[in-house]
A and B are shown apart, each in its own frame.
Chain A
Amino acid sequence: MTQDTPLTPEDSHILAAEYVLGLLEGAPRRTASERLENDAEFAAQVSAWEQHFEPMNAAYAPAIPPLHVKKDLMNRLFGTPELKPKGLWHSLKLWRGITAGALAVSLFTMGLFITDRQTAATSEPLIASLQAETGNIRFMAFYEAGTDKIRLSKLDAEKTSEQDFELWLIEADGQPQSLGVIPNSRRSTIDLSQDFIRKINAGDTFAVSIEPLGGSPTGAVTGPVIAAGVSDVL
Chain B
Amino acid sequence: MEETDDIAALIGRVTLKDRAAFDRLYNAASPKLFGACLRLLKDNTEAEDAMQDIFVKIWNKADRYRPGNASAMGWLYAIARNHCLDILRARKAPLRSMEQTLDIPDKAADPEKSAVNAGEGRRIDICMMELEPDKAEAVKAAYVEGYSYAELSAHYEVPLNTMRTWLRRSLMKLRKCLEK
Contact = CB atoms under 8 A, between A and B. Distances in A.
Contact of A60 (B16, B21, B39, B148): B39
Nearest to B175: A13
Contact of B148 (A23, A63, A205, A218): A23
B19 A78 contact: yes
A23 B149 CA distance: 5
Contacts of B48: 65-66, 68-69
Contacts of B174: 17, 52
Interface in B161-180: 167-168, 171-172, 174-175, 178
A51 interface: yes
Interface string A36-79: 00000000000100111111111111111110111011101110
A65 B34 contact: yes
A150 B24 CA distance: 31
B71 A51 contact: yes
A149 B51 CA distance: 44
Interface size, A (range): 35 or more
B33 to A, nearest CB: 8
A230 B123 CA distance: 46
B34 A64 contact: yes
Interface in B115-154: 118, 121-125, 139-140, 142-144, 146-150, 152
Interface in B30-84: 30-32, 34-36, 38-39, 47-48, 51-52, 55-56, 59, 63, 67, 69-71, 73-75, 77-78, 81
A175 interface: yes
Interface in B77-134: 77-78, 81, 85-86, 88-89, 104, 114, 118, 121-125
A174 B85 CA distance: 33
A59 B125 CA distance: 13
Contact of A14 (B69, B70, B168): B168
Given A176-B18, A228-B16, A55 B125 contact: yes
B158 interface: no
B21 A54 contact: no
B13 interface: yes
Nearest to B141: A21
B178 A174 contact: no
Nearest to A64: B31
A54 B71 contact: yes
A24 B163 CA distance: 12
A112 interface: no
A22 B12 contact: no
Nearest to A36: B82
Interface stretch (A115-123, A136-144, A151-159, A219-227): A219-227
A207 to B, nearest CB: 5
Given A25-B149, A54-B77, A59-B144, A175 B52 contact: no
A221 B17 contact: no
A13 B177 CA distance: 14
B23 to A, nearest CB: 8
Given A22-B89, A60-B32, A76-B52, 13 more contacts: A22-B146, A23-B142, A29-B86, A54-B71, A55-B122, A57-B73, A62-B31, A64-B31, A65-B34, A73-B51, A176-B12, A224-B63, A225-B17
Interface of B: 9, 12-13, 15-21, 23, 26, 30-32, 34-36, 38-39, 47-48, 51-52, 55-56, 59, 63, 67, 69-71, 73-75, 77-78, 81, 85-86, 88-89, 104, 114, 118, 121-125, 139-140, 142-144, 146-150, 152, 167-168, 171-172, 174-175, 178
23 contacts: A13-B171, A14-B168, A14-B172, A17-B175, A20-B78, A22-B88, A22-B148, A23-B147, A23-B167, A47-B69, A50-B75, A54-B71, A55-B125, A60-B39, A63-B34, A63-B35, A66-B48, A69-B51, A69-B52, A74-B23, A170-B18, A176-B18, A205-B16
